Copies of this chain bind each other. A is one copy, B any other.
Amino acid sequence: MKIKVIVPITTKGFIEPTREEMVKFASKGTEIDVECLEYGTASIEFAYDEMLNAPGIIKVAERAEAEGYDGILIDCMGDPALDAVREKLNIPVVGPCRASMIYAADLAHRFSVITVLGPGCGEENLALLLGVRDKLASVRSVGIPVLALEDKGKLVSALIGESVKAIEEDGAHAIILGCTGMLGVNEDLSYALREKGYDIPVIYPVAVSIKYLETLVYLKLKQSKMTYMSPSEKERNIWEIMK
């Protein structure tokens, strides 16, 4: 099967590391193609960024379906433009926040998300829309912008600190890494928590999303076309400038 992973920002530097991680978890027969946006924002940390990147995400997704890809992964924990792409396409489309939350909802009584920045309203809203709000213990942040995540040592250290607070103060029994840019740190976090006596799931969105999407493709499942109705034809002149 052929999977298109959309890194929904304009920063090309995320393409290769993301592809490497994806390939690490994908099954043998799975072709992974990673692509970022031509026009949009350098990273996504606000609803503002999500909205500005939406048309670009849609464009890449539509082209991918036309080119015969079997599934789409929008590689950002804000699940930007997910509803729109699910409406337009007839192949399965996966958002890592939703994929991570459903796994966590099954494996633990309650989970926390450790994100990059900000008040966490976005993550809480996604949990609400997905229907698992009561399973969300808290959203915490490491206070590191997306484009500064490459300092793994600093990141892991901050993740451990916030995870322990989520467990001890907020009642979390599982941890979700809150940004798909947090690459290759899940095992260190998991190990550190076990050392502290917390043998709990650390959900790595990159890994979970690709396996979940593979399952959907494999089982010929996709989003409900009653929830995500195919848009009817009409004039959409945005494509004149988004070509």
Contact = CB atoms under 8 A, between A and B. Distances in A.
Nearest to A44: B234
Query: Of A41, A51, A227, which is in contact with the most chain B CB atoms at under 10 Å from its CB?
Result: A51
Nearest to A240: B39
16 contacts: A10-B235, A39-B241, A45-B231, A45-B234, A51-B55, A51-B58, A51-B81, A56-B238, A99-B106, A102-B106, A118-B229, A119-B229, A129-B129, A131-B135, A204-B219, A207-B219
Nearest to A147: B234
A78 B111 CA distance: 24
Interface of A: 10, 25, 27, 39-43, 45-58, 81, 83-84, 87-88, 98-99, 102-103, 105-110, 118-119, 121, 124-125, 128-135, 145, 147, 167, 173-174, 198-201, 203-204, 207-208, 211-212, 215-216, 218-219, 221-229, 231-232, 234-238, 240-242
Contacts of A241: 39, 241-242
Query: Interface centre among A103, A108, A201, A231, by most B CB within 10 Å?
Result: A201
A98 B87 contact: no
A83 B107 CA distance: 11
Contacts of A147: 234
A103 B56 contact: no
B226 A46 contact: no
B41 A107 contact: no
Contacts of A218: 25, 211
Nearest to A25: B219
A221 B238 CA distance: 34
A79 to B, nearest CB: 10
Contacts of A110: 227
Contacts of A211: 215, 218-219
A116 to B, nearest CB: 11
A145 B128 CA distance: 29
